[in-house]
Amino acid sequence: MIDSHCHLDHEPLFENLTKVLNRSKKIGITKLLTICTTLESFEKIKIIINKDKMIYGTYGIHPHETEKNQINKESIIETVKNNKKIIGIGETGLDFFYENSNKDSQISSFETHIEASIKLQIPLIIHSRNAEKETFEILNSYKNSNTKILMHCFTGSLEFSKKLLSLDAFFSASGIITFKNSLDLQDTFKSIPSEKLLVETDSPYLAPVPMRGKKNEPSFVKYTLSKLADLQNLSDEKMSLITTNNFNKLFFNES
């Protein structure tokens, strides 16, 4: 198994990192991708990725943080080139549900991240909430640039997923698919081809059933994986193999 999206720099994960890693390894996790959200978080991530060979990281600014954290394409490219274990750009995207940053700054930052990922030819980790139309329009404008798209914690509509599949996007399922009121989302994940699926925790947030209400951690990814397997009518073992292979194909160009 691979947890394709966690925040190891957040508490209580950071202060208990050794125990978190041990529990992850115990259930068979082979890689963790810890996600950058701010310039400050990246300073921790640079430390974390050197704690264990299984940990990789990303560089980018969350849409909530775009007004306080401004970076340009050149700085993203330079930062990633100087860190071999930084394998993705983001978390970037658009969030028009919360107004933590204005729309213009989010869009500008999103486009900057996209252009950097195209130049580097590494995956783009995308957050999209209440912004399906704008997210697709922006991504579609780069459709001839071989953009590597990963829709993190995908909660979008079936129609949105179909549009994104036309751009060869990957989709990461979070613990939300285990929630009893997520029937529409479950139906969407039934329809997404298995070769386009990854699994994540988004820990320490969104703990899956039966751990809901607790602080999430990477080892809980097994519950989301099991639900995804059920939705895809596959065994847990097969789903684990598929999502692991998909991650390695997307981030490491493994066939």
At 35-48, the pLDDT tens digits run 999 999 999 999 99
Is residue 173 predicted with pLDDT exceeding 90?
yes
Is residue 99 predicted with pLDDT exceeding 80?
no
What pLDDT does residue 133 have?
97
Q: Judge whether 157 and 128 are in contact, CB under 8 Å.
A: no
E strand spans, the chain: 2-6, 31-34, 55-59, 86-95, 124-129, 149-151, 170-173, 197-199
- CA 184 to each of CA 38, 66, 128, 132: distance values in angstroms, whole numbers, following the listed order: 32, 31, 17, 16
Over range 124-153, report the average pLDDT: 97
- CA 95 to each of CA 71, 104, 126, 215: distance values in angstroms, whole numbers, following the listed order: 18, 11, 10, 23
What pLDDT does residue 79 have?
96
What pLDDT does residue 185 have?
98
- Higher-pLDDT residue of 192 and 100 is 192
Work out the pLDDT band at 98, boundaries 50, 70, 90: confident
Is residue 102 predicted with pLDDT exceeding 80?
yes
pLDDT 10s digits, 25-37: 999 999 999 999 9
What pLDDT does residue 230 have?
98
pLDDT 10s digits, 209-233: 999 999 999 999 999 999 999 999 9
pLDDT 10s digits, 195-213: 999 999 999 999 999 999 9
Mean pLDDT score across all residues of the chain: 96
- CA 88 to each of CA 22, 123, 186: distance values in angstroms, whole numbers, following the listed order: 24, 5, 27
Is residue 70 predicted with pLDDT exceeding 90?
no
Work out the angle between the directed axes of helices 73-81 and 103-120 (0-180°, nearest 10): 40
Kindly tell me the burial class for residue 145, based on how many C-beta atoms sit within 10 Å of its own C-beta (0-12, 13-18, 19 or more): middle
What pLDDT does residue 59 have?
98
Which of 63, 154, 55 has its CA nearest to residue 105?
63
Is residue 255 predicted with pLDDT exceeding 80?
no
Over range 225-250, report the average pLDDT: 98
CA 226 from centroid of its chain's CA atoms: 18
Torsion angles phi and psi, residue 123, rounded to 5 = -65, 155
Is residue 18 predicted with pLDDT exceeding 90?
yes
CB neighbours of residue 83 within 10 Å: 17
